[in-house]
Structure 1
Amino acid sequence: MERKDFFKKGLVGLGSIVAIPTLISACSKEDDSVSNDDSSETTTGTTGDCILSPSETAGPFPIKTPSDLVRENIIGDRSGVALLITLTIQDQSNDCKPLAGVLVDIWHCDSKGDYSEYGGTSMQSTNYTNNHFLRGRQTTNANGQASFISIFPGWYNGRAPHIHVEILTSGAKSIRVTQIAFPKNVCDTVYATSGYNGQANTLNANDNVFSNSLEGNMLDSITGNTTDGYTLLKTIVV
């Protein structure tokens, strides 16, 4: 699907919570400041190295029935800063060529740090067991890409901000489970807006998942601003 068509179809009826992110070609490091104007971009990950993406845990809040959540727009009834996620899946065994026709599952918490399909426990007091927001499945196209319309994830105690991703064969056999990390400067900018819980209390370097694999987990680039939303790009090698 063309990017412009994706937005036209995916954003209908979402009102003001999602707007088309502005794409700019500029780069900054994780420790650089990111402004709130229309020209902010952070590029931090590495691409083109054909290195397997880190294998990470799917828990403790994995999707229970991903086959029921085939959709591009995963926002549900949540609100937050708009985020378009585009993932490119590459096959290491085939010179890292794009991998078409595989399933991509993603899931992440809402702006307050809560997950759908879980809750009412010591790990998450708010009960969202009957909700399915911020979870979805797509099949990669000929370019090995799958995209999702979402919101910028929040954070919860003990974890740095992140998105979970699982790649599966067309027959739903798991190939790789990984996670995507975010640069602190962009998180700080988003978390200063209303609806989020303020600055995350766990840094990437102190996160028990990212501490030994951050370079492989870090997104490739993120562009945009808190008014128009952000676009996240990440290449995952399986």
Structure 2
Amino acid sequence: MIDTGKNGEFRYEQSDIVDQDGAEFGITPSQTVGPYVHIGLTLDNSEHLVEPGTEGAVNFTVSITDGNGDPIADAMFELWQANPEGVHNSDLDPNREEPATADGFRGLGRAMANANGEATFTTLVPGAFDDEAPHFKVGVFARGILERLYTRAYLPDVDLSTDPVLAVVPEERRELLVATKTDGGFRFDIKVQSDTDETPFFGL
């Protein structure tokens, strides 16, 4: 599974090359984001899409576990979403009437998982965007993952029957993309490497 807290033997032979001129010419293998995913990517308060205490603010907690059920403690989450009116903080959104701004609701957040594989965002409840049901877009980076994993967390207790993105997911797996309610907002549990209840991910 994901080598969180690795402390044993390396699975591959270690090279004794200390200078690039000593390496043979050839195609290098794909690289994972390694244990360095946090370096240069963390900003203070980037988990707050709105300031705590903002009217209508809710918590959105994300967790991630591997195929053994162990938390992936060094994962990084990204969150994108529309505002309560269903408009994204991006000039690319055709529904936006004013230029995007860093003030107020930012629409994009980033948070690092704690030892339990969890992170909590402060945000607003998203509205429906065009014909898509209200949802959070969630990206996952972690050691051992070659490319960002991209998924969605739909709001509970809303009509999902006409959402065009959810429609491509097998019906019996759609409930895995629905967040649960908590006292302060919502929670979404992501599972990877599972044969039975792995979270559906999307190719972009």
For this structure pair, what is the TM-score category when the shorter chain's length is used for normalisation?
0.5 to 0.7
Counterpart of 2:46 in structure 1 is 71
Q: Which runs of 5+ in 1 are unaligned?
A: 1-65, 186-202, 225-229
Counterpart of 2:177 in structure 1 is 217
SS in 1 for 2:79: strand
Q: Are positions 1:131 and 2:102 aligned together?
A: yes
Larger radius of gyration: 2
CA displacement at 1:234 relative to structure 2: 1.2
Superposed CA offset, 1:162-181 (max 9, x none): 00000002699534100001
**Aligned residue identity for 1:74:** L
Counterpart of 2:186 in structure 1 is 232
Counterpart of 2:79 in structure 1 is 106
Structure number having the greater helix percentage:
1
The size of the alignment, in residue pairs, is: 147
Q: Report if aligned partners of 1:88, 1:236 keep a CA contact under 8 Å in 2.
A: yes
CA displacement at 1:182 relative to structure 2: 1.2
Superposed CA offset, 1:43-99 (max 9, x none): xxxxxxxxxxxxxxxxxxxxxxx755762322159x65221111111112xx12111
Root-mean-square deviation (CA, aligned residues, Å) is 3.0
Counterpart of 2:64 in structure 1 is 89
Q: 1:128 to 1:163 in 2, by over 3 A?
A: farther
Normalising by the residue count of structure 2, what TM-score does the alignment of the two structures yield? 0.61
Of the three residues 158, 164, 178, the one matched with 1:208 is 164
Superposed CA offset, 1:181-225 (max 9, x none): 11235xxxxxxxxxxxxxxxxx31110111243212111x2034x
Q: 1:109 to 1:76 in 2, by over 3 A?
A: farther
Normalising by the residue count of structure 1, what TM-score does the alignment of the two structures yield? 0.53
Q: Relative CO higher for 1 or 2, CA cutoff 8 Å, sep ≥ 6? A: 1
SS in 1 for 2:167: coil
Superposed CA offset, 1:5-49 (max 9, x none): xxxxxxxxxxxxxxxxxxxxxxxxxxxxxxxxxxxxxxxxxxxxx
CA distance in 2, matches of 1:91, 1:172: 12
